[in-house]
Structure 1
């Protein structure tokens, strides 16, 4: 990491994964914005050293976290931390924002459109931010339904957020933009009989604002993250900056394609909807690995056969009854995370967020079945899942399954409690199956020698790979898959349910929604290199 720091604004900041990686890459946070106060509590604790929970109990307003709009005054921080952010955006009467001093170096909690409204009402603050010469604007807004055509964006406020992101770039004029999103953004959706590609629409929106987009589809596992996590990435450079980059790498075909698209958009602003999928492209790491060389795209660090496995990621903290000291975890994947990312604010002590959830016998017995069927071959695994979820299977498959189960210790319940044993008869297996049915199709056990599957925000969908751990994963284990260091503490509620699901962002969701810090570091290194060159 260079000593020279570049200035960085983070939108849709979540719990801080992107900011943590970019900080290591050489970017200094100018300010951040996050809608959820629950995710914001984690961001503030780790990235700003602000303990909002402690301040709320002391009834002391935060100096580093400001609310764009809230239904409660600053003194009622405890209520702000559990506030529905959508209600705050609509009905909030209180705002902490007055001048640039309320923004610079702060985390701003609230809706980005309310922040844009504040900027519209205070153009002198926008001018002050522009004068700061911001290097990078980053974030991951929901994009899957976005279209410049306008019909579908009226149905869901989230589909407007890419437009808000692009407008924010147009206002503040950073040198570069970094956008992260799910793979689904590349799948077409239908709007009034027309097919639209959200990634292409997003690229147009930034081109209209004066940014030349460079787009890619990558996977976190290629960059040292213990997770099979495909993600769409757009790096966009302000036209004057792009021209200087282009002068350095004018033979690069990626840059030529981007410039042609940018010029096409700006020459056809009145007819931009007719610019289609034939006019631009993104580069998939699976098809063009040679382009991911650290020049325009991040450099691949791990290839097939060298991906970080589940065992490497969480094998050293398998026993949740043990308290693990962060300072003693120095080797392997976890040691790399703990030394790569610096803890600036808090004593490390023991790792947090590693409390297991309690399960009844039926759940544990099912988890054991999921572990066992990972060993099955020749289509038997699918047959076992169908059997669990109530689908009909033919008698031949059922008999093959039960015979296969005879070779493994299953989990039973008897007069003396719960225990493992190998069944001796097909009847024992069949009777056990009848007592633990499920309608869940998404549940599965981890494969210990493979990267973890794409991170899920619902903790019940994955169970541990080891037979002595018939449980879902802890927040810490899921954070390991996302490449968070062990000193990074997740705050607020662990999980949620009921109506809270509509607006609460508990710890599991914070982890699942985050940008892996290792991936953010690799992306940040490329942007840093191009900007400083």
Structure 2
């Protein structure tokens, strides 16, 4: 069995990126996440296998605090050496997705017209770069939303100036070559479109098969990121979620046991227990399958959308962001949706309701054993904050944790690719 590669995960959220990396042979040795509930989700799903994550010295809330406290990073290095034998420069991978609410489409919906340079979270990429400077990992991965590529610091700024600054910051870290690509999760077998900006830095003494020179906006052809997976079939939603359809579900109620057996490969995979073995059977316990309680008007709207092929009849139309009916089967172009932090963006393909937390998690390819801490959902200023009033704290309920995550399947594909770069090629016996 190959030795696990070691990874530090910053801005880890509920752990989608880490889970995919773990499936690819990485082991998390330190986690940072500001939100208590998201951090609790991350830790509670791992502490049984990686007990150190339950100790104070191997998790932290505030990246900026990690950088400003002159003793924190030296102390962390000492703990990594004492527990894992990791000397400076021996950490395999550092990953992070600094908060993106100022750049995402959802963020624009609730940005309160505040310039992005005024949002403290939009500068955390500098703190991540400072930690890379200190820990000198063999490689690093920066991920963020597509909107980052075109965002401006101010209304009068230049389109794309934010990403230019970010790319320059990471290119200026000595001893690394850097490349990035805009990738789509559906190209890696994930049942949603989900565009993400992925930037990879490889230390100069690592990776003999990658192209050190070339266009920075070409990480895939340069070998820093995996190419589109032609060998993986993206599952239709009926194949992903069909086993969770409870014919006896009640509006506002819960389904606590699997209503059907697993039939498709993806259902069997996601129903496999954390410890392995056979997929959970019909009648076994399922968690996070609670239904929102919709009023009569909303139920009528959803039924009408299902009858009319997704179109919202005029009597139900509002100026609010329009909901979309999820298709049971994708068309020729494959998945056309992106799971967001707003649970009510989409309507179930066969029942008049929005998706449950468990169904939402499956869109991101979280297995059914994965449990989420905190509130199920929330709204208004508690979820959005109000930068104009200096309110930057946001609640991160379960739906938002999942919507903010890197899809597990995408993370797994990236992790398998990076593992090949980071592991030395086996020597041929002569």
TM-score tier by shorter-chain length is 0.7 to 0.9
Q: Structure 1: how far apart are the matches of 2:297 and 2:73?
A: 60
Q: Is the 8 A contact 2:12 2:32 kept in 1?
A: yes
User: Aligned partners of 2:53, 2:411: CA distance in 1, in Å?
Assistant: 23
Q: 1:189 to 1:354 in 2, by over 3 A?
A: same
Q: Any conservation in 1 of the 2:243–2:260 contact (CA below 8 Å)?
A: no
- 1:83-102 deviation line (CA, Å, top 9, x unaligned): xxxxxxxxxxxxxxxxxxx4
C-alpha distance in structure 2 between counterparts of 1:209 and 1:4, whole Å? 28
- Give the C-alpha shift of residue 471 in structure 1: 0.6
The CA deviation at 1:298 is 1.5
Aligned CA RMSD, in angstroms, stands at: 3.1
Aligned to 2:377: 495
Tell me which residue corresponds to 2:292. 357
The separation in 2 between residues aligned to 1:121 and 1:326, in whole angstroms, is 53
CA displacement, residues 17-52 of structure 1 (integer Å, 9 cap, x when unaligned): 1111111111111110000001112112112249xx
CA contact (8 A) 2:243 2:263 kept: no
Does 2:97 correspond to 1:140? yes
What CA distance in whole angstroms lies between the structure 2 residues aligned with 1:199 and 1:298? 22
Cα displacement (A) at 1:342: 3.6
Confirm or deny that 1:166 pairs with 2:99: no
CA distance in 2, matches of 1:33, 1:328: 38
Kept in 1: contact 2:16–2:411 (CA 8 A)? yes
Other-structure match for 2:171: 207
Contact map agreement 2:150 2:159 (CA 8 A) in 1 = no
| Paired position in structure 1 for 2:83 | none
Q: Quote the offset at 1:126 in angstroms.
A: 5.2
Structure 1 residue 17 corresponds to structure 2 residue 16: yes
Match of 1:448 among 328, 332, 345: 328
Pick one of 235, 243, 248 that aligns with 1:308: 235
| 2:110 maps to 1:111 | no
Q: For residue 531 of structure 1, what is the aligned residue in structure 2?
A: 422
Q: 1:42 to 1:327 in 2, by over 3 A?
A: farther
Q: Which runs of 5+ in 2 are unaligned?
A: 81-85, 104-114, 386-393, 425-430
In the alignment, which residue of structure 2 is the partner of 1:457?
Answer: 341
Task: Find the structure with the greater CA-based Rg.
Answer: 1
Shift, 1:200, TM fit: 3.1
Note the C-alpha offset of 1:478. Answer: 0.8
Change (3 A) 1:134 1:474: same
Cα separation, partners in 2 of 1:188 and 1:310, compared to 1, 3 Å:
same
Alignment correspondent of 1:477? 359
Q: Secondary structure at the match of 2:361?
A: helix
**What does residue range 79-90 of structure 1 map to in structure 2 within 5 Å?**
none
Q: What TM-score does the superposition give when structure 1 sets the normalisation length?
A: 0.65
SS at match of 1:455: coil
1:471 aligns to what SS in structure 2?
A: coil
2:145 and 2:201 map into 1 onto residues whose CA distance is 17
The whole-number CA distance in structure 1 between the counterparts of 2:45 and 2:271 is 14
CA distance in 1, matches of 2:259, 2:348: 22
C-alpha distance in 2, partners of 1:226/1:19? 19
Aligned-partner Cα distance in 2 for 1:371–1:177: 45
Give the conservation status (yes or no) of the 8 Å contact 1:309–1:452: no
In the TM superposition, residue 372 of structure 1 has moved relative to its aligned partner by 2.9
CA gap 1:124/1:322 in 2 versus in 1, 3 angstroms: closer
1-structure distance, mates of 2:27, 2:52: 19
Rounded to whole Å, the distance in 2 between the matches of 1:172 and 1:13 is 18
More helix by share: 1
Q: 1:34-74 CA deviation, whole Å, 9 max, x = no partner?
A: 00001112112112249xxxxxxxxxxx98446xxxxxxxx
Residues 1:317 and 2:316 are matched in the alignment: no
Kindly tell me the number of residue pairs found equivalent between the two proteins. 380
Q: Does residue 224 of the first structure (1) align with residue 189 of the second (2)?
A: yes
Distance 1:470 1:177 in 2: 43
Contact 1:371–1:446 (Cα < 8 Å) also in 2? no
1:297 Cα deviation from its structure 2 partner: 2.4
TM-score (norm 2): 0.79
CA distance in 2, matches of 1:193, 1:231: 23
Assess, with a 3 A threshold, how the Cα gap between structure 1 residues 207 and 223 changes in structure 2: closer, same or farther: same
Q: Match of 1:510?
A: 401
SS at 2:45 equivalent = helix
CA–CA distance in 2 between the matches of 1:299 and 1:3?
24
Give me the whole-angstrom Cα distance separating, in 1, the residues matched to 2:74 and 2:186. Answer: 44
Task: Evaluate the alpha carbon distance shift between residue 302 and residue 464 of structure 1 in structure 2; reply closer, same or farther with a 3 A threshold.
Answer: farther
How far apart in 1 are the matches of 2:72 and 2:290? 46
